[in-house]
Amino acid sequence: MTLLINTTKVPDLIDFLENNAKYVETIIIADMNLDVLNEFIRHTKAIQQERLRVDVPIDFVDDDSFDWAFLNSEGRWQLYDRDQRNQIEFALRNGTQKITIIGDHLLNKNGYTYEAFPSQNKQVNISTKTERDMRRISHNPTAKKQDPIIRKTEITDTGRLRSTNEDAKKEKGMHILVQGFDEQKVDAVIKKIGGLKDAPENVAKKVAKNVDVDYAGQLRPVMEKFGLELKIENGEIVIVGLKHNVLPGYEKLMEEVVKLQKKEKHAEEHPKNWVPQSTNSLRYVVPADSKEFLSVLNRMRETMPMVRIVSLQRVQNKRFWDFYSGSKKYLRKKWNQEPAELELFHGTQSLESILTDESGWRIQYANERGMWGPGCYFAQNALYSHGYSSVGAKPNERQMFLAQVLVGEIKDYGVQPQPGLKLPPPLDDKLDEEGQKRHADSVKGYTNGSYVHIVYENNRAYPKYIITYTAQ
C-alpha cells in the first residue's frame, strides 16, 4: 500500500504506523511543512529503520496558500514578489538558514541585495546593515480543521509523483492511495486511520496555568505546528491534541510565554541608550561625532540637504516614557503583536509646553481645522515640519522634534482630506472576537510633498529628540 499524506495530518498517523507499518511500503509527502515532517520522521521507527520509503515532491512549494512579507520603513507589512516568496519558502522547508535575494519594490529592482533568515523571521540589507522583521502569512488557516479525505485509487509508478502532487493541490487533507493489496486489508487500514484522530484514548489536553490569555493569539500558530488546538476554557489556556504531541507542545508553549514576557518587560523599561539620571527628566546632549547624531542628521538631509544641526538633545523623561509605554502595551494586547512605531518630525511653537506636560501632545489642544480632523500631526519629511518650527536661541536657528510615534494599524487616506475625523475609522479586514470591525490606531495622508501621520489620543507619541538647526 502507498500512503499519500498532507503533513498537516501527519500526527494522526504516527501511532498507527508504529504497529501497522507492515501494511505500508511507500509514503508520499504531498507538501513540505518541514517542522511537522521532521517530527513525523523522528517519531516513526519504521522510517528510521528504513522499512519504509519517503518521497517528497519539491515542486509543491509554488502555491498561493501563503505569502511572505517584510515590515517596511512605514511600519506596514509589504509582500515579497512571487519568486522571492517561493525562494524563502523553499529555504524554510529545507532547513536552509540563510539565502540571498534581490530587493524589489512593486516588481522594480531597487538596487539592494538582502540576506533572508526564514527560520528567524528577519532580513538584513547587505549594504546598509538595516534589519527588518519578516513573517509568513497563511491564507488558509482553517485547512487543518477539515476532516481527512480518504479514498482508493490506482496509480502507476511512472506517474506517481506528478499525479499525487496534483491531487494534493485539488483536495486538502490526507489521502490513502492503494496499490496491489487485498481489498479487505485495505478497508481495515482506512477505517483504522479514519478513526484515529478522534479516538479518545489517543487524545489528551493540558492546562497552561497562570499564562495570560492575552497571549493566545500569538501562541496559537505555534501550537498548530504541533498539530494541537489552543482553546480558552474557564479563563485559562488549554491545548488539545494527540497524546504524543501534547507534552512537547506544552514545553514549546512555555518557552514562547517566557519570550513574550521578556519582550513585554523590555518594552516597558527605559531605553538602553539612556545615560544614568537622578531626576525624572534629563536633556542629554548627543555628541556630534556619534552614530546617533549622524542618523538624525541623515534623516533631516533626506529633504533638507543643506541643513546643519547645531545641537541634538535626547529627551530622557521617565514619567513621560512610562505613559507612552502604557499605550504601547494596550495596543500590543489589542492586536496580539508588537504595534508599529515610526520616528517622525514635528514642528511647533509650543515646544517647551509639550516637554513640561506629562502627556506631551494633548488632543484637547489640537487644531480643529486639520485636513484629517483634530489630532496630533507628525511628518515623514523634515522639510514639512520646518514650516512649523520655532525660533531657537539665535535668530538664524530653528527647533523641531523628532518623535517616536505609536502608529499601530494605519488607515491611509492618500491625498483625500477627512476634516470631520474625530478618531481613526474602522478597518474592513480587522475583526474582534465578536466579529465587529476594529478601529485603526492612526491615520496617514499626503500633503505638501510629505506623508503625515495623525494620532487622536494622548500618550501616543514621545519627544525623542529636540533638534536645534540652521537651514542654509
Pair 74, 112 in one domain: yes
What's the grid cell of residue 41?
520522521
CB 301 within 8 A of CB 307: yes
Whether residue 82 is contained in a domain is answered as yes
Pair 96, 109 in one domain: yes
Pair 331, 447 in one domain: yes
- Please tell me the distance from the alpha carbon of residue 148 to that of residue 12, in angstroms, as a whole number: 10
How many CA atoms, within 13 angstroms, populate the side-chain half-sphere of residue 71? Answer: 18
Whether residue 275 is contained in a domain is answered as no
Instruction: Select from 196, 219, 237 the last residue of a domain.
Output: 196
Pair 133, 210 in one domain: no
- Please tell me the distance from the alpha carbon of residue 81 to that of residue 443, in angstroms, as a whole number: 27
Whether residue 146 is contained in a domain is answered as yes
What's the grid cell of residue 216?
493566545
Pair 169, 220 in one domain: no
Pair 122, 41 in one domain: no
Q: Say what the pLDDT of residue 406 is.
A: 96
The whole-number mean pLDDT for each consecutive block of 10 residues of the chain, a chain of 472 residues, reads 46 56 51 48 49 41 71 81 77 77 63 83 87 81 34 30 36 38 49 53 80 84 85 88 81 88 69 90 95 96 95 94 89 86 95 82 83 94 95 92 96 94 87 77 95 94 96 82
Q: Say what the pLDDT of residue 418 is.
A: 93
Pair 310, 344 in one domain: yes
Pair 405, 264 in one domain: no
With vertex at residue 13, the alpha carbon angle to CA 11 and CA 19, rounded to the nearest 5 degrees, is: 130
Whether residue 276 is contained in a domain is answered as no
Pair 160, 287 in one domain: no
Residue 429 DSSP SS3: strand
- Please tell me the distance from the alpha carbon of residue 326 to that of residue 289, in angstroms, as a whole number: 33
What percent of the chain is helix, strand and coil (3-state, nearest 5)?
Answer: 35, 30, 35
Whether residue 77 is contained in a domain is answered as yes
Domain count for the chain, please give it: 4
- Please tell me the distance from the alpha carbon of residue 402 to that of residue 314, in angstroms, as a whole number: 10
CB 459 within 8 A of CB 323: yes
Residue 239 DSSP SS3: strand
Pair 171, 81 in one domain: no
Closest Cα to residue 241, out of 225, 255, 257?
A: 225
Pair 330, 465 in one domain: yes
Domain interval for residue 264: 200-268
Whether residue 233 is contained in a domain is answered as yes
The 203-208 sheet, strands edge to edge: 203-208, 236-242, 229-233
pTM of the shown model: 0.49
Pair 338, 428 in one domain: yes
CATH number at residue 398: 3.90.228.10
Whether residue 407 is contained in a domain is answered as yes
